[in-house]
Amino acid sequence: MNRSISLPEETFHSKPHISICYFEANDFSDELIISKASQAFSAIESFDINLNGCEKWKNGTFVLKIKQDQFIQKLQKGISPIFKGVIQTPHLTIARNISKSSLEYFSIDDFDYTGSFHCKTILLLKKNGNEPYQILHQIPLTRKEY
């Protein structure tokens, strides 16, 4: 993508992640967030994530679309009563803060991707102001028996 358009420097330092929940944590300590999220995800088995194309968003974000299946819904259902911030459209962010002119310039046909991968871990990410996301905690999912 960076060969097609110039991407912001922050894109190269961001952690690849799928957004399923976003919330303001001013009322929560890191320890409480880790404890509550670990408890919510304790019975979740590892699962496959299915990617289904891509989108350009008007805010300058380019994402791969995630098929919102029973596994993603189970994750969101587990966390939403605790933190009240479910993302309605789960997505895998590829690049953010792309300029409007660059966003209009490139064709998503070059990046239209479908496929899947196995998810074995939930990462809790923390963002302070304009700093890049940092990994707050890693929650291993229980192993799915085949």
* CA 119 – CA 72 distance, rounded (Å): 11
The domain defined by 9-140 folds into Cyclic Phosphodiesterase; Chain: A, (3.90.1140)
Categorize the per-residue pLDDT at 34 as very low, low, confident or very high, splitting at 50, 70 and 90.
very high
Between 31 and 43, whose confidence is greater? 31
Instruction: With residue 122 as reference, give the H or E element that holds it.
Output: strand 121-126
Per-residue pLDDT for 146 more than 60?
A: no
Give per-residue pLDDT as tens, 82-129: 777 767 778 888 888 888 888 888 788 877 788 899 999 988 888 887
Per-residue pLDDT for 137 more than 90?
A: yes
pLDDT attached to residue 2: 72
Domains of the chain by residue range: 9-140
CA neighbor of 19 nearest in space, from 70, 52, 68, 59: 68
Pair of tokens at residue 66:
């995630």
Which range, of 3-7, 48-52, 58-62, 70-74, averages the lowest pLDDT?
Answer: 3-7
The whole-model pTM stands at 0.76
pLDDT attached to residue 72: 82
Categorize the per-residue pLDDT at 138 as very low, low, confident or very high, splitting at 50, 70 and 90.
very high
pLDDT attached to residue 16: 66
SS3 111: helix
